[in-house]
Amino acid sequence: MFWSCRWLCHLEAVPVRCTPHLGARLVGHVVGSCIMVASAYASDTSGLDFQQFNDDVGRNRDLATAAKSTFTFGQLTDAVKSADEAKRSADEAKRSADEASKASPEGKIQEALARAMEPFEPSRPQDEVIQRPVMETLRQRIASWQQHATIIGGRCQSGKSVATEEALRGARGVARFTIKSADWETTMYEELKMENSGLFKEMMRRVREKLKDFPDNLTKFPILLLEAPRTTTEGIDRVSSTAKDVATDKIGCAIHVIVSASSAAVALAFDAGGTERQEDIWVADLTEEETKEFLALHGHEKNWKDFVDACGFRIGDLVKACENLKKGMPLDDTKQEYQRVADDEVRRFMELQVHPKVTGREMVKELLTADPAGILNVVNGFGILPKKLAALIRNESCHAVYFHPIKKRFFFASKLHKEAAEAQLAKP
Domains identified in the chain and CATH numbers:
2-103 (no CATH), 116-282 (3.40.50), 331-428 (1.10.10)
Q: Is 390 exposed, middle or buried (0-12, 13-18, 19+ CB in 10 A)?
A: buried
Give start and end residues of each alpha helix (H) in 212-329: 236-246, 264-269, 288-297, 304-311, 315-326
pLDDT at 59 > cutoff 50:
yes
**Helix or strand holding residue 259 (H, E):** strand 256-261
Specify the pLDDT at position 124.
Answer: 92
Alpha helix ranges (H) inside 104-196: 105-116, 133-143, 160-167, 184-191
**Could you tell me which residue, 345 or 5, shows the higher pLDDT?**
345
Can you give the C-alpha Rg of the chain in angstroms?
36
- pLDDT of amino acid 102: 61
- pLDDT for 43 equals 43
* Contact call for residues 26 and 8 (beta carbons, < 8 A): yes
What dihedral angle (degrees, nearest 10) is formed by the CA atoms of 396, 397, 401, 406? 90
Cβ neighbours around 124 below 10 Å, total: 12
For the purposes of burial, counting CB atoms within 10 Å of the CB of 245, is it exposed (0-12), middle (13-18) or buried (19 or more)?
A: middle
Distances (CA, A) of 125 to 128, 129, 157, 223: 6, 7, 18, 22
Task: Yes or no: say if 162 and 122 are a contact pair by the CB < 8 Å rule.
Answer: yes
Out of 101-105, 277-281, 295-299, the most confident range is 295-299
First to last CA, the chain: 100
CA angle 367, 372, 375 (to 5 degrees): 40
Per-residue pLDDT at 98: 57
Nearby residues of 200 by Cβ (< 8 Å), 6 or more positions away: 112, 188, 189, 192, 194
Task: Give the dihedral sign, CA 352/356/357/363.
Answer: negative
Question: Residues 104-112: what's their mean pLDDT?
Answer: 91
% pLDDT > 70, the chain: 76
Cis peptide leading into residue 372 (ω within 30°): yes
pLDDT-based confidence at 54, cuts 50/70/90? low
The reported pLDDT for the residue numbered 103 is 66
Mean pLDDT for the chain? Answer: 81
Confidence of residue 273 (pLDDT cuts 50, 70, 90): low
Q: What is the pLDDT of residues 199-241, one digit of tens each?
A: 988 999 999 999 999 999 999 999 999 988 776 667 677 777 7
| Count of positions (residues) in the chain | 428
**Are the C-beta atoms of residues 354 and 388 closer than 8 Å to each other?**
no
- Report residue 304's pLDDT band, with 50, 70 and 90 as the boundaries: very high
pLDDT for 394: 86
Reported as a pLDDT band with limits 50, 70 and 90, residue 185 is confident
Task: Work out whether the CA dihedral 33, 38, 39, 41 comes out positive or negative.
Answer: positive
DSSP 254: -
